[in-house]
Amino acid sequence: MKENLLTVSDVCDELGIGKTTAYKLIKDKEIHSGKIRKKIIIRRSDLDDYIEKSLSADK
């Protein structure tokens, strides 16, 4: 289960973006997320959905 959950830092590494951009994508609900205590968690499937949408928009 843990391999399906990502932190903001993981998302930054995967997308090659900074934390400010990642937090903006999460705030704007472009990448869906949740919180466990104070930690923001992103499901692998939600990141994959964002990537697919982004690739489709570029075509």
Q: Mean pLDDT over residues 2-14, rounded?
A: 92
Would you state the pLDDT for residue 58?
A: 66
Sequence-separated (6 or more) residues with CB below 8 Å from residue 35: 41
Would you state the pLDDT for residue 3?
A: 75
pLDDT band per the 50, 70, 90 thresholds, residue 5: very high
Would you state the pLDDT for residue 57?
A: 79
Decide if pLDDT at 49 tops 70.
Answer: yes
Sequence-separated (6 or more) residues with CB below 8 Å from residue 14: 6, 47
| Lookup result for tokens 């937090």 | 23
Mean of the per-residue pLDDT values of the chain: 93
CATH code of the domain containing 32: 1.10.1660
18, 20, 25, 27: CA torsion to nearest 10: 160
Which range of residues forms the domain containing residue 37? 2-57
Q: Tally the domains of the chain.
A: 1
Going along 1-59, which residue ranges are E strands?
A: 5-6, 34-36, 39-43
